[in-house]
Structure 1
């Protein structure tokens, strides 16, 4: 199989049963900025399906090490205290204040055809977000995120799927 040099940056060659197979790479280009206002400094906020519900204002934060759920989502999903499991390790918030978590809950998140179980740490604190998804979630779906492009890209079979962030939601 030959691949022209102009296309090599868009493809990753992987052996498959003795043959070379071209798979699209997880990458971003200027075309991925179409539909966004540039320059910008908005956070990457998406809508995801959590526990079967469309949940808006989910922050994708690749620098965070913990998946967080805030009170609005906890109430909106009609979760009960008996749904929680104990979690007692303190967290440090964006404002560098220590937050004592309420507890933890494991919930499914649908992304395309993938379903990933996520351990959310439930906190009683104000946030403009309903939840924060972090590195663990990105790694579980084998995704790459870009705040510049306001997108999350992840493999799905032979294709690359996208979650597109909302600048409007981020500005509210």
Structure 2
């Protein structure tokens, strides 16, 4: 997967000449898989700087149309209900259930020296992740992610920077999700008297 971006240089002496582009390629190769436990089907879980804090267990999800914040991060950032603005559209959780958001909050997310203001939808449901960074954030940053290569690349100035995975955290999150599901199933069986 490759996406080409161009930084144009204009010639001041010949204003009618076409722009000369130097390609800045965002792509992945086999070299990007070095150090990754293979084969892998892990989610891309990283650490990001959100609102000035290093936040672990952030999942990069190209399938998510919104950026989500879960209760652990909300409380960890000492946010209060008064910090939220209304958000009325319901969402669908991983379990396929309808979720009514608590609200929305705009916070800075820093990658390297780049800062993107992100509108997080705050939900009060279980998740092994602290946040989901979806397409809006990826597109604003101009980023391309790969779960196969367990990293994300994005243009910054005239260079390509990358955010690498925490494969151990991804696997721990999977275990936490399975444990939560098993506990919920056990609780349902007990509640139904089976």
Partners of 2:7 and 2:24 within 8 A in 1: no
3-state secondary structure, aligned to 2:26: coil
Alpha-carbon distance in 1 for matches of 2:145, 2:139:
11
Q: How does 1:8-47 map to 2 (within 5 A)?
A: 15-17=8-10, 18=18, 20-47=20-47
Q: Which runs of 5+ in 2 are unaligned?
A: 11-17, 173-194
Alpha-carbon distance in 1 for matches of 2:65, 2:108:
18
Q: How far off is 1:24 after superposition? A: 2.8
Q: How does 1:13-162 map to 2 (within 5 A)?
A: 15-17=8-10, 18=18, 20-162=20-162
TM-score for the superposition, normalised by structure 2: 0.80
**Match of 1:167?**
167
Partners of 2:64 and 2:134 within 8 A in 1: yes
- CA deviation vs aligned residue, 1:47-104 (integer Å, no higher than 9, x gap): 0000000000000000110111000000000001111001121101122111111111
Partners of 2:71 and 2:124 within 8 A in 1: yes
Moved over 2 A (4+): 9-15, 18-24
Alpha-carbon distance in 1 for matches of 2:23, 2:112:
18
Q: How many residues align structurally?
A: 164
Q: Which has the larger radius of gyration?
A: 2
TM-score for the superposition, normalised by structure 1: 0.90
Choose 101-110 or 15-24, whichever is displaced more.
15-24
Alpha-carbon distance in 1 for matches of 2:126, 2:3:
42
Alpha-carbon distance in 2 for matches of 1:73, 1:58:
10
Alpha-carbon distance in 2 for matches of 1:101, 1:10:
34
The root-mean-square deviation of aligned C-alpha atoms, in Å, is 1.7
